[in-house]
Amino acid sequence: QNDGYRTLSLSGHVGFGSLPDQLVKKSIKQGFCFNILCIGETGSGKSTLINSLFNTNFDDSVSTHFLPNVRLRAQTYELQEKSVLLKLTVVNTVGFGDQINKRDSYQPIVDYIDAQFESYLQEELKIKRSLFSYHDTRIHVCLYFISPTGHSLKALDLLTMKRLDSKVNIIPIISKADSISKTELQKFKNKIMSELVSNGVQIYQFPADDETVSKINTVMNGHLPFAVVGSVEEVKIGDKMVRARQYPWGIVQVENENHCDFVKLREMLICTNMEDLREQTHARHYELYRRCRLEEMGFRDIGPENKPVSLQEAYEAKRHEFYLELQRKEEEMRQQFVQRVKEKEAILKEAEQQIQTNFEHHMLMHQEVKLKLEKKKKVLEDEIAMFIEKKANAELLQSQASVSTPVSLKRDKDRK
């Protein structure tokens, strides 16, 4: 379908036929990043499977079963195969499913995924962006490890996958699949897929629109969830050393498709669909998050009447909205300030009245005390005056007595 464009033939060499080669060279120079989120209960074989997938030992520490809540531990490694450099980040859920109350076990995972989206969005919104050198930490695939119970999915598994299916590409896998028989395993697979469909959980489907891989991807979609066994130990079988798990009853070969789906998982995850997982993360999950966040910021493609809205119009509308909000806040703060001033003035006035009342009360008491003291002073002065008068009279009598005494003695002598 040429949409009305004319197809012309070239009369000679032009050079744009080398565009794919240019793209390959640029991609190899830049390198690739791939971020895997492993969700599963402690001891479900997450670290062993990752080691098996990339044929190396990542030296992940052993986790305890007694953590109070779920934590996420991200570790980044640089791997090189031939001339291709891969920056691999493995995010492991530590303590998932170990708590008694598992109601919010998925929340730290959701928060982590959103945090990586938000970090990328903030980089995009910068005036001077550096996405070329930016380390993309967005989760490209979630390997969800299902315990091989042989019965059905746990409520926690359904709830977690339902909360994550719009944020990340989920590939469910049955871990330690050598612990159940083949008959039980197939029934378990069918039961899992039935429960996922009935609960509306959208898992990642290998794309069938590319002719080069549509056939193999369509077949592999029918094998989900993959039943895997992981091991980094090698066992000699015949003349070859193969990765396997050795038991008293026999040997389970990791890369034997008759024993498990490990090869199918590796083929689909790494060899065939790694780039599609990266594209789906950016074009689907991240775009959904980006659209919601921009709508929260007030940026929309269409207005209230379903008319297209330009970025300038959205900016002006948001600017006007912020201006009105600023005015409202200023008026609110002014009213609060006036109210606080009035309250303070009322408090000060009440305190002033209280001080005035206390002053008047003390003045009244002072007047009363002063009157009492003046009365006492008057009484004391009267008593002093009386005392002085009595003293004077006494002195007068005493002086008169001293004068009359010799005369009396002479009279008595004359009589004799």
Mean pLDDT of all residues belonging to the chain: 85
What's the whole-model pTM score?
0.70
CB 242, CB 234: distance < 8 Å = yes
Q: What is the pLDDT of residue 289?
A: 92
| CB-based burial, 201-227: b 16+ in 10 Å, e otherwise | bebbebbeeeeebeebbeebeeebbbb
Which CATH number goes with the domain that contains 285? 3.40.50.300
Structural domain contains residue 347: no
Q: What is the pLDDT of residue 371?
A: 93
Structural domain contains residue 358: no
Structural domain contains residue 359: no
Residue 225, preceding bond cis, omega within 30 degrees?
yes
Structural domain contains residue 82: yes
Q: What is the 8-class DSSP label of residue 72?
A: E
Residue 410, pLDDT above cutoff 80: no
Q: How far apart are CA 317 and CA 338, in angstroms?
A: 31
Beta strands 84-94 and 32-39, pairing class: parallel
Cβ neighbours, 10 Å, residue 269? 22
Structural domain contains residue 74: yes
Q: 311: closest CA among 324, 301, 323, 322? A: 301
pLDDT digits (tens, 9 = 90+) for 127-154: 888 877 788 899 999 999 998 876 788 8
Structural domain contains residue 374: no
Structural domain contains residue 2: no
CB 301, CB 311: distance < 8 Å = no
Of the listed ranges 31-40, 44-53, 396-405, the least confidently predicted one is 396-405
Structural domain contains residue 250: yes
pLDDT digits (tens, 9 = 90+) for 283-336: 999 999 998 988 887 776 666 666 666 667 777 777 888 889 999 999 999 999
Residue 166, pLDDT above cutoff 80: yes
Which residues constitute the domain of residue 291? Answer: 25-297
Q: What is the pLDDT of residue 83?
A: 86
Q: How many domains in the chain? A: 1
